[in-house]
Structure 1
């Protein structure tokens, strides 16, 4: 498939890093339409608090599609408070089986400070190996960079920021204007 088939998939980098009892989700701010940068300061990482239970989510892909998925995730979390894995699986099931949702072009990284998941439209809820997950056009660059830094004394935030800087240097659809959210496991 060429880039124009799925233009929403080529426009961002999101990374989640779990280290030292904390999880950091960082995302760049670039929004591209084809080869044109439309906005450089978008917020693609957000904190959700359904029922007082904090979750951090980052999205890659079509913004409108991602907002639809975030709303659905919030509803699932309200129905199953404190159960991120269950809410994520329920969302992925709906996404895979609902004809409207099947057309959505986005991916999510979600965390409650303990669990870290990538949710895809293929019905996947993936818990990453090595405590690092990355999505979007620069995701593989950020993932490789972060994995190379996980054994250092850098904090989760330092690893995420450095990995994002490397991805921004390589991927033309990623910039260095970051939104960073940190969360620790809740009791």
Structure 2
């Protein structure tokens, strides 16, 4: 977030396990060393054309909402084809002069597929069934990778990983929004 160096992100994690995908995000919005809000909702459920998708975002909220609106339109144009919709969004994001300025990242799932979508044109399906973004993303990712092979459910892995990230990253709190989706 180059224009606002004092602003820091959030932590969003996606965990795929046992036929279910869980996306969880914390609720903290920070400006520098100040917590602006502790209960923001950065995980959303979209239902374009009756096909449910769960998304989580890190970065600028207004930018993320713009991207979510665009993603929803792409999903309406390609019902049931999450990968295609994400690739089309990433192409537009990378090539459109207006969208290029948007500073956010997305984790997106339809319950089967799990992707990280970025403004660099990336649509990445993570290895090890875990994806994480935001300022505490690396902490949550490491924790989830350590927990994924145990007996915990996808939701339990996501919640524990987010708790660890919240303990380490000052820009992440324990006020979680958790959405599960399965196929």
TM-score normalised over the length of structure 2? 0.97
Distance 1:149 1:29 in 2: 23
Please report how far the alpha carbon of residue 8 of structure 1 lies from its aligned counterpart in structure 2 after TM superposition: 8.3
Per-residue deviation, residues 128-168 of structure 1 (Å, max 9, x unmatched): 00000000000000000000001100000000000000000
Contact 1:112 1:184 in 2 (8 A): yes
Please report how far the alpha carbon of residue 179 of structure 1 lies from its aligned counterpart in structure 2 after TM superposition: 0.1
SS of 1:181's equivalent?
strand
Please report how far the alpha carbon of residue 118 of structure 1 lies from its aligned counterpart in structure 2 after TM superposition: 0.1
Runs of 4+ in 1 over 6 A off after TM superposition: none
Contact 1:8 1:62 in 2 (8 A): no
Aligned CA RMSD, in angstroms, stands at 1.3
Contact 1:45 1:58 in 2 (8 A): yes
1:9 and 1:121, CA in 2 relative to 1: closer, same or farther beyond 3 A?
A: farther
1:54 and 1:7, CA in 2 relative to 1: closer, same or farther beyond 3 A?
A: farther
1:44 and 1:8, CA in 2 relative to 1: closer, same or farther beyond 3 A?
A: farther
Consecutive unaligned residues of structure 1, counting only runs of 5 or more, are none
Distance 2:150 2:7 in 1: 31
Distance 1:128 1:166 in 2: 20
Contact 1:9 1:137 in 2 (8 A): no
Please report how far the alpha carbon of residue 10 of structure 1 lies from its aligned counterpart in structure 2 after TM superposition: 2.1
Distance 1:93 1:4 in 2: 22
Match of 2:30 in 1: 32
Contact 2:135 2:169 in 1 (8 A): yes
- Aligned residue pairs total 183
Q: Confirm or deny that 1:165 pairs with 2:173.
A: no
Consecutive unaligned residues of structure 2, counting only runs of 5 or more, are none
